[in-house]
């Protein structure tokens, strides 16, 4: 697999939140990390990014061990991350947000911005507007576009549809499908499990910080026990 995390164990203050967790995603794939509140999903993302000091486990990207790299060096190696909150500069315009996202991009920035406007047409219309004035769905599109400015190989998303309406959620998931077509590996944490699995190639379900189930999206959607316990029947 292009991007993998194996046997991650870690937490805060000596207390493990995740134990022996493993995930993997290939280029051109969407993989979801699911589970109930408190299962350790966002902690797992932090562990993969190196924000959390893991007591054990390893992370590799394109066959290279990046376990010992600091977070900023993992990002330089080709990983981009969109946190659930504080993922845009609200006081800056849409265009300025994209320019800020290009801090590690060594190509033609204007060309890259125009590529983002093609991928997210609505934010082109708003390019001179303060990002803080946008709707929740539009803000999330700015956050996705800003994360893609570095032309990453891996895109990590923490609750990309949090707090938006069902219609906007569908729009965001469609954008994520379009990102997948760019041959990017997408690894996302999601609370809207059923909808996430509908667009995911594979998924992992965490329970109390451990891998409980894993498989392709269809399998997890149609397994009766999983559907009853995690997908609302």
Res. 232: pLDDT tops 80: no
Q: Is residue 214 a part of any domain in this protein?
A: yes
Torsion angle defined by CA atoms of residues 45, 48, 54 and 58, in that order, rounded to the nearest 10 degrees: 150
> What does the pLDDT look like over 76-103, one tens digit per residue?
999 999 999 999 999 999 999 999 999 8
> What does the pLDDT look like over 206-217, one tens digit per residue?
999 999 999 999
Q: How far apart are CA 27 and CA 91, in angstroms?
A: 34
Into how many domains does the chain fold?
A: 2
Res. 104: pLDDT tops 90: no
Q: How far apart are CA 197 and CA 191, in angstroms?
A: 11
Q: Is residue 19 a part of any domain in this protein?
A: yes
Domain edge (last residue) among 149, 167, 191: 149
Let me know whether 27 and 97 are in one domain: no
Domain that holds residue 65: 3-78+152-230
Res. 233: pLDDT tops 70: no
Let me know whether 137 and 158 are in one domain: no
Let me know whether 118 and 136 are in one domain: yes
Q: Is residue 47 a part of any domain in this protein?
A: yes
Q: How far apart are CA 120 and CA 94, in angstroms?
A: 12
**Mean pLDDT throughout 9-35?**
95
Let me know whether 20 and 124 are in one domain: no
CATH number, domain containing residue 55 = 3.40.50.300
Q: Is residue 83 a part of any domain in this protein?
A: no
Judge whether 150 and 181 are in contact, CB under 8 Å: no
**Mean pLDDT throughout 110-127?**
97
Which candidate, 157, 179, 142, places its Cα nearest to that of 80?
Answer: 157
Q: What is the pLDDT of residue 90?
A: 97
The pTM of the full predicted model, rounded to 2 decimals, is: 0.95
The DSSP secondary-structure symbol of 68 reads: T
Q: Hey, which residues does 80 pair with through a beta bridge? A: 155
């Amino acid at each position: 697999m292009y991007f993998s995390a194996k046997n991650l164990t870690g937490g805060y203050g000596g207390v493990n939140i995740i134990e022996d967790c493993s995930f993997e995603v290939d280029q051109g794939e969407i993989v979801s990390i699911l589970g109930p509140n408190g299962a350790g999903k966002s902690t797992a993302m932090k562990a993969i990014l190196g924000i959390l000091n893991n007591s054990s486990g390893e992370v590799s990207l394109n066959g290279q061990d990046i376990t010992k790299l600091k977070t900023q060096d993992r990002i330089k190696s080709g990983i981009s991350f969109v946190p659930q909150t504080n993922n845009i500069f609200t006081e800056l315009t849409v265009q300025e947000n994209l320019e800020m996202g290009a801090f590690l991009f060594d190509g033609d920035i204007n060309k890259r911005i125009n590529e983002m406007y093609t991928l997210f047409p609505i934010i082109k219309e708003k390019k001179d507007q303060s990002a803080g004035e946008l709707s929740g769905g539009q803000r999330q599109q700015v956050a996705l576009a800003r994360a893609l400015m570095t032309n990453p190989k891996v895109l990590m998303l923490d609750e990309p549809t949090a707090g938006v309406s069902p219609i906007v959620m569908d729009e965001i998931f469609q954008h994520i499908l379009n990102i997948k077509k760019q041959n990017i590996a997408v690894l996302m944490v999601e609370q809207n499990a059923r909808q996430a699995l509908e667009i995911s190639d594979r998924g992992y379900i965490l329970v109390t910080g451990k891998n409980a189930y894993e498989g392709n999206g269809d399998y997890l959607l149609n397994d009766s026990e999983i559907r009853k316990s995690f997908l609302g029947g």
